[in-house]
A and B are shown apart, each in its own frame.
Chain A
Amino acid sequence: MTVLTRKARPVAAGPPATARTRRARERAWALAFASPYLLHLVALTAWPVLASLFFSMTDYDLMSPPTFVGFGNFSRLLGDEVFWRTLGNTAYFAVLFVPTQTALALLLAMALNQRLRGMALFRAAYFVPVVSSWVVVAYVADSVFNPQTGIANQVLALVGLPAENWLQDPALVIPTLAAVAVWKGVGYMMVLFLAGLQAIPEERYEAAKIDGASAWNRFRYITLPGISGTTFLVLVLTSIETLQSFEQVYVMTDGGPHGASELTVLYLYRQGFQFFQMGYASAVAWVLFVLVLVLTLVQFRLQRRWVHYA
């Protein structure tokens, strides 16, 4: 039997000087390597965030020094009908966009998760809109939804339905924008789902087939639980993206007709950069931030019930 003994070390002395120096040097190097990111974080994220929190409690027109108004901007928000309408527009857009894009991305991923020739081409084709700018997408969308010359109305005419004013009708503008946003964004989410699908072990399907499980049951009991982590990620990302949506409406409708497609971030932009109300715009930004945070926390809380990390 071997007995291991350890030499007693003086308690108060701490590590030897050389070890301390080495650790200090390592810390310095770590800090040096991390410093570009830390500088970026402090200068371009933390500082603007804190500044906007300060501005949200001021009357600030960008040109004269801000004057402190406490929660004045937030109480003004409560009675601002336009703000609430933009929030309603954003929620409506999210309700249409998030489930549609998620479901469609999953369907496409399943369809393209086959070992067939030319599949890579299809995957690339669905990904092309993701990397296109919104200006380009707006032109394409116009060729589809223009009430005079667009393909959508030509299709309706073929089946004997009346033409629609897709982007000029207050009732249709948000569903149309949601459809275009799905078309642009579905490719990215499809790639995430593809990765999720390919991570499910093939043996599970083989075992289920041997046990006589139907295609629906294999989807229900193997695929869906197997990609629940990816689904959760897609839902969180899409929800945040929707609440921050700006470029699309700015380019395609500028919030029209009559504000029917004015989303909250576009409203925020106008208040801050067109109407000289940076304090009020900052308050809108913070309310939006809190909403995104609450929504994300709720999603994280609910995920415990349905997300399985195998």
Chain B
Amino acid sequence: MKVRMLAAGTLAVLALAGTASCGGGPAGEPGAVTLRLGFYAGAGDPADTLMRELVKEFTAANPSIKVQLEVAPYVKFFERLRTQIAGGQAPQVWLSDGVLVQEFAARGALADLTDRVRTVDAAAYSGLELNRDGKGRVHGFPQGAQTPVLFYNKKLFAEAGVAEPTADWTYDDLAAAARKLTKDTNGDGRPDTYGFRAYSPGFTESWWPIVKAFGGDVVTDGNRKVAIDTPESRAALDWMLAAMGKDGFAPDYVTTESFGKGAVHTLFATGRVAMSYGIYARTLPAMSAKVDFGVAPLPKGPGGRGNVAIVNSWVVSKAATPEQADAAWKWITYFSGEKPQSRWAELGEAIPINKKAAATALPADRGPVFLEALDASDTLGTNAVWSEYTEALAKRVNEALSGATPVAEALATGQKEAQQVIDRFYAGQTQ
């Protein structure tokens, strides 16, 4: 008797668990859908709070869709997501770092959104083209964009009597201004304020756009061929090394690293550097620190400005049911609307991808600079093994920037190692 009761109890628990694990299915009422929505944010962050508010408004307007949020800080979110996908338990829609969209798509985890994207007015949104893969397919719909521009501290420029940057600036102009802005006020032989921040562990705001501006490239041929080992790239890294070395207007590798993880992004906000390349999200710490700052286009080099962008995007799980995929698309189109995008823009966290929202919600002095940079941007070399090949490459480039390895040797080795990573994945695939 007891055994039977135990068995019955166990079955009941298993049945309940089974039902719970089917949370992505219909939510009970006819036509109702439960949608698990994942995004990355720190608990209690303004982005977290606003996202919850927007979800609430969305479900109020769409009562047949019940949304279950899955939120975690960036690293934890993607770590968990990969195991969720492996276990068939991924959210049906999630916010992906733009550089990871192709990694998920190439492994069959994402629904192809190409047909759905055709139904929207593409001219109304930024970043759509940056999300296309080699075959023209789209697996992510833009949520917000990031592209580096030149941040400059107006007060430090005025104190040094240096004219503020213009759209005509070249790398020589940048270097000349940075030299004048570098100050050693306490006489300890080390500058207290540097003119420019050249090195950063995050290459989007450092060597990648500089290499491109100097006429070099990082990857070509549909982002499958590493092409950084060129005289142009060497010239770019030499310029950076001179900035951190003999010219001394930028903190060197060790000094920058010693500020600690993430602190490199606060160098501008804390007044340690007068100029820095920064994505839109860097406006937040600068404003919080009440820095009187402006932004200007990246300086021109022999190869142009080297604009690059990351378009963080909503993606839909391939495992979603048709009803869930429809509900996910409804969420995406809602979030991309002018009103939610304008509210998101108020966070100062990303450039809105809705062009109407971008035109009205961004600050009048800074907005156009970011939008022009975004329009001119290329992708950040995204492909199916972006994380791995860029790490292999960045390791060698940083060796060169730290002075540990000659530039030519580092670029040759980095190119070889990064190419091996790409070839290993794409072996036998034509596109």
Give A residues with C-beta under 8 Å from B: 61-64, 142, 146-148, 165, 167-170, 254, 256-259, 270, 273-276, 278
Q: Would you list which residues of chain B between 65 and 100 have a CB under 8 Å from chain A? A: 79, 82-83, 85-86
Instruction: For the complex formed, measure the closest distance between the CB of A15 and the CB atoms of chain B, giving whole angstroms.
Output: 25
Interface size in chain B (residues, C-beta < 8 A) = 28
Nearest 8 Cβ contacts at the A-B interface: A62-B86, A63-B107, A275-B388, A63-B109, A168-B254, A258-B399, A147-B258, A165-B254
Does B112 sit at the interface, judged by CB under 8 A?
no
Give CA–CA (A142, B258) in the complex, Å.
9
Tell me if B's interface is mostly helix, strand, loop or mixed.
Answer: helix
Q: Is the CB of B230 closer than 8 A to any CB of chain A?
A: no
Question: A148: which B residues are within 8 A, CB to CB?
Answer: 255, 258-259
B385 contacts across to A, CB distance below 8 A:
275
B387 engages A274 (CB within 8 Å): yes
Q: Is A274's CB under 8 angstroms from B388's CB?
A: yes
Find chain B residues with CB under 8 A from A275 CB.
385, 387-388
Chain A hits for B259, CB < 8 A: 148
Q: Which of B384-425 contact A (CB under 8 A)?
A: 385, 387-388, 391, 395-396, 398-399, 402, 404
Chain B residue numbers with a CB within 8 Å of A270 are 391
Question: A258 contacts B398, CB within 8 Å?
Answer: yes
**Contacts A64-B108, A146-B260, A256-B257 known; 6 new A-B pairs at CB < 8 A:** A62-B85, A148-B259, A168-B254, A257-B398, A258-B398, A258-B402
**Within 8 Å CB of A62, what residues of B?**
82-83, 85-86, 107
In the complex, what distance in Å separates the CA atom of A13 from the CA atom of B202?
79
CB distance from A136 to the nearest CB of B (A): 15
- B395 touching A276, Cβ below 8 Å: no
Contact between B79 and A273 (Cβ–Cβ < 8 Å)?
A: yes
B253 within 8 A of A: yes
Question: Contact at A257–B103, with CB atoms within 8 Å?
Answer: no
| With A63-B85, A274-B388: A168-B398 Cβ-Cβ less than 8 Å | no
The answer to whether B257 and A276 touch across the interface, beta carbons within 8 angstroms, is no
Which A residues touch B258, using CB under 8 A?
146-148, 165, 167-168
- Number of CB contacts from chain A to chain B under 8 A: 61
The digit string for B90-134, where 1 denotes a CB below 8 A from any CB of A, is 000000000000011001110000000000000000000000000
> Which of chain A's residues have a CB closer than 8 A to the CB of B399?
258
Binary interface profile of B, 350-374, with partner A (CB < 8 Å = 1, else 0)?
A: 0000000000000000000000000
CA distance A299 to B255 in the complex (A): 43
Residues of B within 8 A of A170 (CB): 404
B86 contacts A168, CB within 8 Å? no
Residues of A within 8 A of B396 (CB): 258
CB B421 to nearest CB in A, in angstroms, measures 8
Q: Nearest-CB distance from A32 to chain B (Å)?
A: 11
Q: How far is the CB of B263 from chain A (nearest CB, A)?
A: 10
Asked if A259 and B395 sit within 8 Å, CB to CB, the answer is yes
**Residue pair A258, B404 in contact (C-beta under 8 Å):** yes
Complex CA distance for A148 and B263, rounded to whole angstroms: 14
Question: Whose C-beta in chain A lies nearest to the C-beta of B82?
Answer: A62
Residues of A within 8 A of B388 (CB): 274-275
**Interface contact A276-B107, CB-CB below 8 Å:** yes
- Chain A residues with Cβ below 8 Å from B86 are 62-63, 278
In the assembled complex, the Cα of A61 lies from the Cα of B260 at a distance in Å of: 32
Nearest-Cβ distance from residue B173 to partner chain A, whole angstroms: 30
Contact across chains for A168 and B107 when beta carbons are under 8 A apart: no
| Chain B 214-270 residues near chain A, CB threshold 8 A | 253-255, 257-261
Max chain A Cβ within 10 angstroms of own Cβ: one of B86, B258, B261 = B258
Specify which chain B residues have a CB less than 8 angstroms from the CB of A64 in the assembled complex. 107-108
Question: Would B82 and A276 count as touching, CB distance under 8 A?
Answer: yes
Complex Cα distance, B260 from A107, in Å, reads: 34
> Interface readout for B156-197 with A: 1 if CB under 8 Å, 0 if not?
000000000000000000000000000000000000000000
A residues in contact with B104, CB < 8 Å? 63
* Residue of B82, B103, B257 touching A273 (CB-CB under 8 A): B82
- For residue A63, which residue of chain B has the nearest CB? B107
A169 to B391, CA, bound (A): 19
Cβ distance A174 to chain B, nearest Cβ, rounded Å: 15
User: What are 22 inter-chain pairs, A to B, with CB distance below 8 A?
Assistant: A61-B107, A62-B83, A62-B86, A63-B82, A63-B86, A63-B104, A63-B109, A146-B258, A146-B260, A147-B258, A148-B258, A168-B258, A168-B402, A169-B254, A254-B261, A256-B257, A258-B396, A258-B399, A273-B79, A273-B82, A276-B107, A278-B86
